[in-house]
A and B are shown apart, each in its own frame.
Chain A
Amino acid sequence: MNTLTLIKREIKLSMRNLGLILSYSSFFVLSLLIFTFGVGPDIKQLNTVYIPIIWIIMLFAIILVSDNFLLSDFQDGSLKELQYLGYSEESVILSKTVVMYLILIIPHFLLIPVFSIFYNIGFNDLFQLSLDIIIGMPSLILISLIASLLTIQIKRNKVLQFIVIMPFYVPIIIFTTSNNDEIFYGSFELNKILILIGFFLITLPITLLLGKLILTEINK
Chain B
Amino acid sequence: MIFKFANPNKFLKISEFLFPYFNFFFLISFIYGLYLSFFNSPPDYLQGETVRIMYIHVPCAWFSLMLYSSIAICGFFSLIFRHTLADIAIRAIAPLGASFTIATLITGSIWGKPTWGTWWVWDARLTSELVLLFLYVGIISLSNAFDNKSKGDKYAAILSLVGIINLPVIKWSVDWWNTLHQPASISKFSSPSIDTDMLSPLFVMTLSFLFLSLNIIIIRIKSEILQRKIDILNSSKIN
Interface residues of A (CB under 8 A from B): 146, 150-151, 153-154, 157, 160, 163-164, 166-168, 170-171, 174-175, 178, 180, 182-183, 202, 206, 210, 213-214, 217
Contacts and interface: CB of A to CB of B under 8 A. Distances in A.
A214 B159 CA distance: 10
Contact of B131 (A163, A170, A175, A213): A170
A150 B159 contact: yes
A210 B2 CA distance: 25
B142 interface: yes
Interface residues of B, number: 28
B132 to A, nearest CB: 8
Given A163-B141, A171-B170, A206-B165, A150 B158 contact: yes
A174 B138 contact: no
Interface stretch (B91-99, B175-183, B230-238): B175-183
A166 B142 CA distance: 14
Contacts of A164: 138, 142, 159
B24 interface: no
B155 interface: yes
A206 B145 CA distance: 24
Nearest to A172: B173
B151 interface: yes
Specify the main secondary structure of chain B where it touches its partner: helix
Contact of B151 (A153, A182, A202, A210): A153
A174 B176 contact: yes
Contacts of B131: 167, 170
A154 B135 CA distance: 19
Q: Among the interface residues A164, A182, A210, A213, which one has the most CB atoms of the partner chain B within 10 A? A: A164
Contacts of B159: 150, 164
Contact of A167 (B138, B151, B155): B138
Contact of B169 (A146, A154, A171): A171
A175 B173 contact: yes
A171 B173 contact: yes
B146 interface: yes
Contacts of B146: 153-154
Interface in B192-226: none
A217 B180 contact: no
Contacts of A174: 173-174, 176-177
A87 B159 CA distance: 25
B199 to A, nearest CB: 33
Nearest to A184: B176
12 contacts: A150-B158, A151-B145, A163-B138, A167-B138, A168-B162, A170-B173, A178-B180, A183-B179, A183-B180, A206-B165, A214-B158, A217-B154
B79 interface: yes
A210 B138 contact: no
Contacts of B172: 171
